[in-house]
Structure 1
Amino acid sequence: MPTAVPVPRRLAADSCPGALQVHKAADGGLARIRVPGGVVSLTQWAALQEYAPIELTSRANVQIRGVTDPAALAARLASAGLLPSATHERVRNIVASPTGDVRSVVTELDRDLCAAPDLAELPGRFLFAVDSARDVAGLGADVTVLLGSDPAPVLLAGVDRGLRVSVGQAVPALIAAARGFLAERTAQASRAWRLTELDDGPARVAARVADALGLLLSAPDVVGPAAVESGPIGAVPGGVAAVAPLGRLTGAQMARIGAVARDEIIVTPWRGVVLLGVDASALAALADAGLVTDPASPWATATACTGLPGCAKSRADVRADASVALGVTLPSSGVLPVHFVGCERRCGHPAGAHVDVLATGDGYQVDGENVRVEELPAFVAAARRKNA
């Protein structure tokens, strides 16, 4: 398991990549396209497929690597409706329950967020969550609304501070929390990127939201939901779901997904897709394209950072080594997720308990234990069983 990291004291503004603010990586430009609620139309999916392979992130966003012409990419994304706001494109960070009744709230939140000039100042890592199935609430969002009850609890950094709102107040509360974060950051002379980086952030922002909306804080009674180890996969209510191996989709896999989908594709924070209105018989076609459709597969809860050659900070081609390690048969249930990383930054690691596989330069550490590359499959398999 990764060692707990102390809350950082930020000295610089957030430089999280976006569709316009392209990050320079070892393999070229890296663009991150925000997809609120993970919803992508078939037309938008076809536009993204032009840049395959793509990566799916733990926030249900899309990454494109090797960008050589950022202006041309931005123009293509805008023409497909994937870049509705040049000023707010990095702050449209909204995760939502993939199969839940959340669409109207996500749409309203995205609209109101982009319509507020002051909220363009949010850091690119500030995260909203709209949860109706107790699945995305454990992903570490800065502000989460738990739909399904009236009034609905609003959690701040996963903590219940007594905020309760009607469904009609859900979006105003989320917007007020974002403004409360910015106001508290200014009051503390902080450059925080996340709510947890502020002194007593959840309590102070809760008070600001209550004051802005004229609410009375209730006695906290909600325990923040734990992170869900596995997202939807296989047959799901109303459709099917598949996971991208190590979060990366080839052009052929994207084409297969587009051919199977009916009206839209929902990208999930577990680096997969949900296709609603699709019969379970389509799972065979998705599996034939190399997508993970079996919840018992060792690949179902395995993730990895980019590694070499894409990231100059990585000490190994972690994706290649992970692919070998994942060839070991595991029990059909009761195993931990695993995340392979090339350096101590541990980019993209899961929110919950998982096996930590860190490249060291002359091998790996599996939950802190040094192993040689050739030993990796056996050690990873044992760690996933042992700790489950």
Structure 2
Amino acid sequence: MSDSLFSTPIVDFSRDAAVLIEHPDRSRQDMCPGTLRLHKAEDGLIGRVRFPGGLVRPEQWNDIARLSTELGNGTVHVTTRGNMQFRGVEDSAAFAEFVEKAGFLPSREHDKLRNIIASPRATHLWGLIDDLDHSLLSSTDVIGLSGRTLFGFDAGQGDILSQHPDFGVFEEDGGFRLILGGALTDYVVTDRGLVGGALTRAAAAWQSLRGDNWRVHEAPATHAAILAAVAEAVDLASSPAPDVQRPEDARPIGWIEDDNGSVALGAGLKFGFFSAKVASILGAVGAPVTITPWASLLIHGLDSGDADAVVKVLAPQGLIFDANSPWLRVTACTGLPGCAKSLSHTQEDATQLVLGGNVPDGLVHFSGCDRRCGHPLAHHTEYVATGDGEYEVNAR
């Protein structure tokens, strides 16, 4: 395929979202935490552990609970990239050693770039996630990518596409359509076994071209060259990208009956974290769990009796199984006292809004400063702190 075939404009799915920044400031260092380089906060260090696809195996939960209690503050926070964060870490070397021994860090050089999300209910994509992870780990050409880099697997509903992955695929009849810079392209990988290699090739090309940019949408002039590089390694079919509508709420919550007769349980997380005790309980449940990009967990493959028992045990621990709960619409950054940049106790203020029954329609996010950490990638009402307990409220 010639380079000229890649001059076709990419469908700009990002126009459906409210918050992509076209020209962000990249003069400062990429501060995304990892296992080896932790972020300093007011309540200690923050370490981040990557779980490709957000998938956590049953046997991993015991180590997660121990990591939280022995080296952190007893909580486990989830991220929009399907990863986990541990706050209150005091010994960074011990943290890295524990994560490595647990098997959560297969390569130090690839620590921060293994950010992979996938449609939570699409268990048939798990093999593709593993393929991509293995392909990335075997590549030296992707080392050095920003910790903001995001890979995504969309099962065809638009849920992962709405998260604007830098590289990904959108499943459709006839193959897997490439996603580049958060947008659908006109090119399709028809061989399932080549998907992981194609995405790795795209990421390697981006690493050689990106300069100071972190995210692919920031440098549209590189897109044709990236696609050409993929075409040199993988045969691609070509067809116009479809028009995909972003789902109203992609987060699966509550009791979900799967086609194979099993039950999946979607559990929302208030302010995006749960306790080490919950991690231990999930280990005892013995089922795979997906961390979704929307501050929730999806527990897979339960029979109805076990699912009922899990709800009875986890609901008192603060997990939310009611899809109509206002807690699912309200998020907040860490705020005071954990973040020195925050001007207010955001989570306490958000709690008061919910308990007072005054939550505006749609999504709501509380930010302690104008950095707006953790904001939703969709239209929402934002409360940005201007002082302790004082906020500027805008539609975003």
Distance in 2 of aligned mates of 1:315 and 1:127: 30
Distance in 2 of aligned mates of 1:212 and 1:3: 34
Aligned to 1:153: 177
Query: Where do 1:249-260 residues align within 5 Å?
Result: 249-259=274-284
Q: Is residue 286 of structure 1 aligned with residue 314 of structure 2?
A: yes
Aligned to 2:149: 126
Partner of 1:367: helix, strand, or coil? strand
Q: Is residue 353 of structure 1 aligned with residue 353 of structure 2?
A: no
Q: Is residue 137 of structure 1 aligned with residue 129 of structure 2?
A: no
Q: CA deviation at 1:163?
A: 1.5
Query: Where do 1:222-237 residues align within 5 Å?
Result: 222-226=242-246, 229-236=249-256, 237=258
Distance in 2 of aligned mates of 1:150 and 1:6: 33
Query: Where do 1:108-127 residues align within 5 Å?
Result: 108-127=131-150
Distance in 2 of aligned mates of 1:202 and 1:348: 28
Q: Deviations 1:350-387 (Å, cap 9, x if unpaired)?
A: 1111221211115012216xxxxxxxxxxxxxxxxxx9
Q: 1:258 to 1:303 in 2, by over 3 A?
A: farther
Amino acid at match of 1:231: R
- Stretch of structure 1 that moved more, 345-354 or 121-130: 345-354
Q: CA deviation at 1:319?
A: 0.8
Partner of 2:327: helix, strand, or coil? coil
Q: Deviations 1:137-158 (Å, cap 9, x if unpaired)?
A: 2111101201242132111122
Q: CA deviation at 1:230?
A: 4.3
TM-score, normalised relative to structure 2:
0.85
Amino acid at match of 1:315: L
Q: Deviations 1:161-219 (Å, cap 9, x if unpaired)?
A: 3121122221122112101211222xxxx211100111434344223322443546x34
Distance in 2 of aligned mates of 1:147 and 1:219: 14
Aligned to 2:77: 55
Amino acid at match of 1:319: Q
Paired residues of 1:140 and 1:158 also in contact (CA < 8 A): yes
Q: CA deviation at 1:329?
A: 4.1
Distance in 1 of aligned mates of 2:167 and 2:60: 28
CA RMSD of aligned residues (A): 2.3
Distance in 2 of aligned mates of 1:160 and 1:184: 20
Partner of 1:169: helix, strand, or coil? helix
Distance in 1 of aligned mates of 2:160 and 2:19: 23
Distance in 2 of aligned mates of 1:343 and 1:2: 18
Q: 2:93 aligns with which of 71, 75, 80?
A: 71
Distance in 1 of aligned mates of 2:268 and 2:170: 25
Amino acid at match of 2:269: A
Distance in 2 of aligned mates of 1:43 and 1:151: 33
Aligned to 2:13: none
TM-score, normalised relative to structure 1:
0.86
Distance in 2 of aligned mates of 1:18 and 1:174: 22
Amino acid at match of 1:72: A
Paired residues of 1:7 and 1:196 also in contact (CA < 8 A): no
Partner of 2:328: helix, strand, or coil? coil
Amino acid at match of 1:321: D
Which ranges in structure 2 are unaligned for 5 or more consecutive residues?
A: 1-16, 69-73
Q: Is residue 37 of structure 1 aligned with residue 37 of structure 2?
A: no
Distance in 2 of aligned mates of 1:345 and 1:12: 14
Query: Where do 1:291-370 residues align within 5 Å?
Result: 291-329=319-357, 335-362=361-388, 363-367=390-394
Q: 1:343 to 1:12 in 2, by over 3 A?
A: closer
Give the count of matched residue pairs: 361
Q: Is residue 94 of structure 1 aligned with residue 119 of structure 2?
A: no
Paired residues of 1:39 and 1:265 also in contact (CA < 8 A): yes
Q: How many percent identity over aligned positions? A: 35
Amino acid at match of 1:226: R
Aligned to 1:384: none
Partner of 1:223: helix, strand, or coil? coil
Distance in 1 of aligned mates of 2:255 and 2:19: 36
